[in-house]
Structure 1
Amino acid sequence: MPPQEAWEKTGEETELEPAIVGRKKEIIDQLIPLHTGAESVGKVSVVSIVGFAGIGKTKLARLICEDEQVKAHFGLQIWIYDVEFLNTTDMSSTYTDGGKGNLVVLDNLKTEILGDEMLSDLDKILMTSNGASAILITTRSKLVANNITVSLSNYRLRHETTRPDTVFTTFKPHVILGLNEEESLSLFWKVRGQSSSIIDMKKEMQRKMVMDCGGVPFLIIFKAIFVNNHCADLAVADLNKEEFLKELKVRYYDKLPSPQKFCFEFCSLFPQDHLIDVERLIHLLTAEGFQSDLENSTEDKFRQYFNDFVGMPIFKDMEEDECGAVRRCRMQPLMHDLARFVSDQIENVTVDPEGEKVTEGVLRASFDFSLDVSRGIPPSLFKKAKKLKAILFWKTQSLLPKDMKTGYSTCGQIFKSFKATLRMLDLHDMGIKTLPNSIGDMNNLRYLDLSLNSIEKLPNSITKLSNLQTLKLSQCYPLEELPKNIDELVNLKHLEIDGCLALTHMPRKLHKLECSLQTLSLFVISDGHHVGGLSELARLNNLRGHLEISHLESLNLSKADNCLNGKNDLQRLTLRWCHEDDYGKKEEEDDQKRLDFLEPPSTLRAIFVVGYKGKTLSNWFSSIACLVKLSLYDCTSCIFLPHLHELPNLRFLELLRLDKLEYIADQSNDSDRHNDKLQAAAVHFPSLEELTISDCPNLKRWWRKDKMEKDLPFFACLSKLNVNYCPELTCMPLFPGLDEELILVGSSVKPLLDSINHGHRKCYPFSKLKSMKIANIEDSRSPAKIWIEYFNSLEKLDIKEWKHLKSLPEGA
């Protein structure tokens, strides 16, 4: 049985913890809309349960579907375990049941982006119902959970559907984390069949043993069974770790496919509890040169293997981007021990300061200590490691004294000793100011990290590295230019130059990398005639990930091409202006024209606009249907924004330092009062989870025209609201369903009071809110005496300098 299936089976056989079962009512409330009847037709709630294999996602989904309220509301429940077998023929007869909507359960969903055929089938299931439908997803990945509605929305834009006005309300994923310490110990004791007296005597030893399992039920049960079968005494079990790892190897590692085994072993090079940068890991794996017979590119396959590991789980403490993709993480302690156990400890060496572990067979050298003027690379590495493929440093060097001469000589020694073998070289933060010309002799080098150094100029010889795939120069602040013949790096896929503040222009020949380049973190605009302009960017249509275009105030539109057209794999875009303080009306008009010109593909997920001085944003913003995050910073001339509420997948909105912003939504196109009433009943921003508005002193209301309090729409999914120093903002959508955080500083409390008084919900206003901070309030309004009565989930409350608040209610 594959390890994933074994872990899922554990989840089915293990009793759900009360905290997991407690999610049931909240999920049901999200699946079933507030309004029913004709008002609910065309409404689709999307709720996802996310957790690693074996945590109990499917069991929780079954509990929800067996609930009498769910059975009564939905006409049909359609369980789909594998979307690849989703097939519909006569949808109108198969999936219609009276006037009720359908509940579609996508169980154990693994596919990030569904194909058009699958989306068409799913769309028909949802649209042939006559009431509010819902999608319930169980998956191991937040990325998968977040992408399903983006895929559906994008599909409906490209194809005619039976109901083009369908509104998808996507709720924040319900993430089921690993068991806590108490739950882990309880499961361990239950499997061992221990009495309370034994538990008390051995508690500390068992606690350490169980916490190494990272809250994963599969590992806890496996360890408990091992202890029962092999050693009645826990002290013996602790000494018998090698035997335990041997059994875990047979149960887990030996059943992995060969490519995944290679990835797992490679992770042994990381120090224990190291925060792993996922893209760095994937680039290193690709540079290793592992060949597979799989159809997809090697890099994409490594990314898929990593996602599989996340769901099993191999990793913990995962940091995600706005789309749910894991960007950084740590290995589970027990899994790191297993990786070290199965890895070839001769080929993969964690180098000690004295170099005693280095042998002639070492291929990859990992350094878990920092270099300084008194401690360099051990001489044994240069003498013995004649086949060395990788030199990798993990520790930051920044806090230690640096010797520029030492950095230069170390580089020279590395280049001379390993010029024929080295594929991966990490020299980040070494205090390097100048690189030796001999770097051009490193014929097999594929990965080079020079970030966080003081390099002003790269040697021309670096362009001889024809096999180089990744070049990292991030935060090399003094770097003034890139090599003129950069096109000679014919295999370059990833060029990371974010934070190179002294960079003034891009090389003319950059566009010649159009077939290979996939990552370009920064493109600097220059108005000079002798350097590359936006035309260099226009042909780089394989770019993906994040791109920043800076110094847009220098963009000459008469000489510019549409540089973003065709970049459909790009995920995140930063548009940055760097105006002087004395900008005027002409600069405002020019910025508006430049922004109109920079229309990105509709598949973009995140946009960051910095320093823009136009009076409003371009209309194309409201057509980016897949947009998940929008951040506006220091756009000090903006008066209002385009129709952002039309973005069905927008989950994060940041409005920071918009000095002249007066309102957010322009209602000038509304046809009559009837439309206003329809909009009042609607959910506003159906997927918005986090809203931050800061330093907008002239922002008075959300809409150009005032709304009556009883007509205010509400945010259906908002979890976090942060309003700082917006003293005039008195009218906005209601937010009674906040469940994470509310911050009001130097702002009006009227929106809060409106949400308390008029927030019609299935539960009491703010009954799920965990954290609230209110400070520096000059507003003369004061809440009713029982205003905080229903805030019964608060874990943190911080109120200070609320001028007209006399006291908290009795018993609060």
Structure 2
Amino acid sequence: MRKLAYDADALLDRVSLHLSNYCAEQSENNAAAAAAARQNQVFSMVLSSFKFDLPREISAMQKKLEELLREMESLNVIEKAKFDAAGKTVSTTSRSTASFVDDRNVVGRVRDKACLVHLLTGECDVDNFSVIPLVGMCGLGKTTLARLVFDDDTVSSSFGKKMWVSISTNFDAVRITKSIIECVTLSPCNLSDLYSLQKELRNLLRGVKFLLVLDDYWSEKHDDWDILCSPFRFGSKDSKIVVTTRSAKVSSIVSFSEAYRLKILSDDDCWEVIKQRAATGAEARASTVLESIGKQIATKCKGLPLVATALGNMLRRKCTEQEWSSVLETELWDLPHDKNVFPALLLSYLNLPPHLQKCFAYCSLFPKDHEFDVDELVLLWMAEGFIQPIGARRLEDLGSEYFNDLHSASLFERCGSTSNRIIYKMHDLIHDMARVVSRDACCRVKYSMLKHYPLFGNACHFSLLRDGIQPSARLQAYQKNERLRTFLVISNNITTGGVIDRQLFLYLQCLRVLDLSRLGLNDLPDSVDRLEYLRYLNLSENRMFRLPESMCKLVALQTLKLKNCSQLIELPQNTRNLSNLRHLELDTKGQLQCMPLGFGRLTSLQTLSTYVVGRKKGHGIEELKDMDCLRGSLCIKNIQYVSNATSAEEAKLGMKTCLNKLELQWIKLPAGSPLLNQRMSEQAQVLANLQPHGNVRDLVIQNYCGVIYPNWLSESWRKFTSIHLQGLKYCDSLPSLGQLPSLKSFAISDMPLLQYVDDRFYGTGNHVKFPSLESFQLHGMSMLIQWRNASNADMPCLNSFTIEDCPNLISCPTIFQTL
């Protein structure tokens, strides 16, 4: 079935690719001819390009699908007969939950218990009841902790009625309401319709202070919760509901309050859990050798008491070093069925919709402890075709929602952040589960083992892990593989002397994703044009001077990454033919000399990290005019080549509504240069016409060779949060910025003509100047003498002030001296 699905996907890709080529060819003609021809393009495709193969292929797929359906129906009949013969029925209940917990066996949850008891015995701020979501991934012990608190004497004495109901994956309001009633009455309930049940529950709870635990809640539908909780409002004030769930989305549905997130246990606590369930013999308990092995086994638990319990049960009555070492070497998914933790984990996967199951399983291509960047992962999912279009919404936005859903389901955990991104990781056990569910589709291999996988196995998605020890890499294939969609090389360190065999691309022509970053490649084989379905290509951190012109035939390409390719001096001449390109990442500090001719035709671009202005027509800044989809960060280099203010205005930066960072760079021109003298008089107007949209937050102006600042830089409605002025050698004053309400960071460096900072910098008016400024940096002000007329009421939020290389500065505001 999977192979048939991939064949169907490949066929659709072929149709889409040929249509794109057809449209690209027609766009070379005049608009009228193109419009007329486009009416018959599908018909032409089927009859000419495919030479009648398309109907035959569809018919063959349909026939194969019918055969598979007949086979599946036969298997269903056989399985049903087995169950009927055995007198069994298939249970819809996913798992049972604990009915009683001995607190002597609960390790590492003393603080958690105290916190929850405090929350349960406190008063409600609003309404008659409050909901406390208890959230965490599978195996953390949410149910155990909830039961521990439920049975606590202090909690029991605080409520008139206590009810415990297990929800599980199949939400049924009738069943749940009936269970709650039976917990209150301690007798069977014979009612069957929801209205009667809720009326009965409302009467039972009226005026009663109750505690209800809804264990293992899965439904992420607002309507389900609204229906279920309607009778709870009739209870007495300060009633409480505890909801245990793996989903942060569930938490946000059932409560406006912050969820209580359960943390993992320490390795020592896991070892305590293992000891409780392990060897019973005195010799085993006293053995220092077994204890040493046991502590190593505890690290495999990765903080999950469920795993510690399973491993402890497996060690029961095992008293020899060999037996314990065998457990240490056993993979978690190979544990005996009655001790295996994966059935419980698997519920998180099975509860996902099919499109999220694909996205989750795909993540097994990356090694454990991999730091996931959401934007990067979404681009890969998009290239693989995992993201289902919805109307006119951006695929990237839909992909971000996919990831948020996986994070909400506790399948990813946030582990930190940098200045421009949030870092996520997979818990090791979740990663193991991803490997289990993807083992037929995804293959991950270490480079040292590559010789054992000459055909990349039967995988559709393949990743090659390099630890950076090998000085060079030679990648090649020995036989054609029409199933492989993904080839990722994941390297910890940049290597040198990497080589790509030309045959590799000839054998792997169905690739959608190709990552060859950090391999130290000096060139890319021109056979890359055979990868006609390729949508994602990462060549970052390689040593190439140029890219092959044949690459411009990759019309399906959506993402091209060339970050930190510092020696790259030019892009292929026909880059404009990559009409589906959405993301082009370039090295902002590289040696790229200019953009190729007609670059402005790439109007689908959303990411363009760098645009290098050229001198000739067709290479200028005006090529940006129709790129209104640009978003994120844009660095425009070589602005000194902008010939006049009109060209700057034609770039239409004010129309780029989704840009949030703009960097404007001139190159340093030597004093007395004819070009400098020519440009100085007109650069002020050029900068004025490069006025960005009001959504830009971060602004960098570097080596500006004019002498006047534009008015837009000082407009009080601007949302600038960071401004950095560097190398403004011909300006003798600072712009007026005191009235910018959101400015948090301001840095100036290398302005040799600046002598005084005065009222002009603060601006006019009686309001507080720089109301949000937190950081101020001065660097390389060789002629700066004095800072005048500063008020102590200004810059009320300032907490960091840095001065470097300002040898002539004799005074500065007292506010800086108190920091």
TM-score range, shorter chain: 0.5 to 0.7
* Partner Cα distance (1:685, 1:347) in 2: 53
Instruction: State whether structure 2 residue 511 is matched by structure 1 residue 422.
Output: yes
Distance 1:346 1:713 in 2: 58
Q: What is the identity percentage for the equivalent residue pairs of Structure 1 and Structure 2?
A: 25
Residues 492-571 of structure 1: pairs in structure 2 closer than 5 A: 492-499=581-588, 501-514=590-603, 516-529=604-617, 531-556=618-643, 557-560=645-648, 561-571=650-660
In 1, Cα distance between equivalents of 2:327 and 2:801: 49
1:650 equivalent in alignment to 2:743: yes
**TM-superposed deviation, 1:665:** 6.2
Measured at CA, do residues 287 and 706 of structure 1 come closer, stay the same or move farther in structure 2, by a change above 3 Å? closer
Structure 1 residues 500, 670: closer, same or farther in 2, change over 3 A?
closer
Partner of 2:412: 314
2:796 to 714, 737, 740: 714
The answer to whether 1:609 aligns with 2:698 is no
Aligned-residue RMSD, C-alpha: 4.8
Letter in 1 for 2:719: C
Q: How far apart are the structure 2 equivalents of 1:280 and 1:650?
A: 29
Equivalent position of 2:540 in the other structure: 451
Question: CA separation of 1:393/1:667 partners in 2, compared to 1, >3 Å: closer, same or farther?
Answer: closer
Is the partner of 1:545 in helix, strand or coil? Answer: strand
Aligned AA for 2:432? D
Please name the residue that 1:341 is paired with.
436
Contact 2:136 2:261 in 1 (8 A): no
Amino acid aligned to 1:522: T
Matched, 1:367 2:458: no
> Which string of whole-angstrom CA distances, capped at 9 and with x for unpartnered residues, describes residues 259-307 of structure 1?
3322222111112233444433222211111242645333222222334
Structure 1 contact 640–665 (Cα < 8 Å) conserved: no
Shift in Å, 1:181: 8.2
Partner of 1:103: none
Give a deviation string over 1:753-810, Cα, whole Å, max 9, x none. x34xxxxxxxxxxxxxxxxxxxxxxxxxxxxxxxxxxxxxxxxxxxxxxxxxxxxxxx
Q: Give the equivalent residue in structure 2 for 1:696.
A: 781
Structure 1 pair 538–707 and aligned structure 2 pair: CA distance change class (3 A): same
- Kindly tell me: are residues 140 and 346 of structure 1, through their superposed partners in 2, closer, same or farther at Cα, counting changes over 3 Å? closer
Give the aligned residue type for 1:545: G
Matches within 5 A, 1:276-287: 276-287=372-383
Match of 1:114 in 2: none
Distance in 1 (CA, whole Å) between partners of 2:301 and 2:775 is: 33
| 1:726-741 map, 5 Å | 726=806, 728=809, 730-732=811-813, 734=815
Rounded to whole Å, the distance in 2 between the matches of 1:449 and 1:635 is: 36
Q: For the residues of structure 2 that align with 1:571 and 1:589, how far apart are their CA atoms?
A: 29
Question: Retained in 2: the 8 A contact 1:372–1:401?
Answer: no
Bigger shift: residues 441-450 or 651-660: 651-660
Read off the aligned partner of 1:321 and give its amino acid letter.
Answer: S
The 5 Å alignment of 1:564-643 reads 564-582=653-671, 587-615=679-707, 617-623=709-715, 625-643=718-736
Mapped to 2, the partners of 1:245 and 1:691 lie a distance apart of 54
Deviation string, structure 1 residues 3-57 (Cα, Å, up to 9, x no partner):
9xx9xxxxxx977689x99xxxxxxxxxxxxxxxxxxxxxxxxxxxxx99699xx
Aligned CA distance change for structure 1 residues 499 and 333 (closer, same or farther; 3 Å)? same
Larger helix share, 1 or 2: 2
TM-score (norm 1): 0.58
**Could you tell me whether the CA contact under 8 Å between 2:731 and 2:753 is conserved in 1?**
yes
Q: Which residue does 2:445 correspond to in 1?
A: 350
Q: Which range is displaced more, 251-260 or 549-558?
A: 251-260
Aligned partners of 2:277 and 2:315 also within 8 Å = no
Q: Deviation at 1:246?
A: 0.5
Taking CA–CA contacts closer than 8 Å with sequence separation of 6 or more, which of the two structures ends up with the larger relative contact order?
1
Per-residue deviation at 1:537? Answer: 0.6
Q: CA 1:298–1:713 in 2, change beyond 3 Å: closer, same or farther? A: closer
Paired residues, number: 556
Task: Note if contact 2:593-2:612 (Cα within 8 Å) is conserved in structure 1.
Answer: yes
* Whole-angstrom distance in 2 between the partners of 1:317 and 1:691: 30
Partner SS state of residue 507, structure 1: coil
Following TM superposition, by how much is the alpha carbon of 1:252 offset from its aligned partner in structure 2, in angstroms? 2.8
Q: Is the 8 A contact 2:738 2:761 kept in 1?
A: no
**Which of 413, 421, 427 is equivalent to 2:503?**
413
Offset of residue 236 of structure 1: 8.4
> Does the Cα contact within 8 Å between 1:543 and 1:567 map onto a contact in 2?
yes
Question: Rg: which structure is higher?
Answer: 2
Cα distance, 1:715 vs structure 2: 1.4
Change (3 A) 1:440 1:691: same
Cα distance change, pair 443–654 in 1 and its aligned pair in 2 (3 A): same
- Letter of the structure 2 residue corresponding to residue 414 of structure 1: L
Alignment CA distance shift 1:658-1:290 (3 Å): same
**In structure 1, the residue corresponding to 2:598 is in which secondary structure?**
helix
The amino acid that maps onto 1:241 is L
Distance 1:231 1:308, change over 3 A: farther
Separation of aligned partners in 2, 1:613 and 1:259: 53
- State the shift of 1:316 in Å: 5.0
Task: Give yes or no for contact 2:462–2:488 (8 Å, CA) kept in 1.
Answer: yes
Partner SS state of residue 644, structure 1: coil
Q: Measure how far apart 1:540 and its partner are.
A: 0.4
Equivalence map 1:243-258=2 (5 Å): 243=335, 245-258=341-354
Q: What is the match of residue 725 of structure 1?
A: 805
Query: Which residue of structure 2 aligns with residue 479 of structure 1?
Result: 568
Q: CA deviation at 1:605?
A: 2.6
Look up the equivalent residue of 2:445 and give its one-letter code.
T
> Which range is displaced more, 197-206 or 446-455?
197-206
Cα offset, 1:180, TM superposition: 9.4
Displacement of 1:698: 4.5
The amino acid of 1:525's aligned partner reads V
Maintained 8 Å contact 2:361/2:438: yes
* Deviation of the 1:224 alpha carbon: 5.2
CA distance in 1, matches of 2:112, 2:709: 48
Shift of the 375–569 alpha-carbon distance from structure 1 to 2, 3 Å rule, reads closer
Give, in angstroms, the shift of residue 538 of structure 1.
1.0
Aligned residue identity for 1:694: H
Give the equivalent residue in structure 2 for 1:241.
332
Whole-Å separation in 2 of the counterparts to 1:178 and 1:691:
40
d(CA) in 1 for partners of 2:344 and 2:619?
56
Contiguous gaps of at least 5 residues in structure 1 = 7-12, 22-50, 56-138, 145-173, 735-750, 756-812
State the Cα distance separating 1:230 from its structure 2 match: 6.7
Structure 1 position 425, deviation (Å): 1.6
- How far, CA to CA, are the matches of 1:521 and 1:609 in structure 2? 16
Equivalent positions of 1:115-154 (< 5 A) are none
Alpha-carbon separation, structure 1, partners of 2:294 and 2:741:
49
- 1:666 maps to what in 2? 760
TM normalised by structure 2 equals 0.58
Contact 1:478 1:501 in 2 (8 A): yes
- Measure the CA separation in 2 of the matches of 1:200 and 1:700: 75
Q: Could you tell me how far 1:551 is from its partner in structure 2?
A: 0.6
Q: Secondary structure at the match of 2:478?
A: helix
Change (3 A) 1:222 1:655: farther
Q: 1:387 is paired with a residue of what secondary structure? A: coil
Q: 1:620/1:334 Cα in 2 relative to 1: closer, same or farther (>3 Å)?
A: farther
Cα contact 1:192–1:225 (8 A) shared by 2: no
1:273 to 350, 366, 369: 369
Equivalent-residue separation in structure 1 for 2:264 and 2:736 (angstroms): 44
* 1:68-83 equivalence runs, <5 A: none
CA distance in 2, matches of 1:732, 1:15: 53
Matched, 1:261 2:357: yes
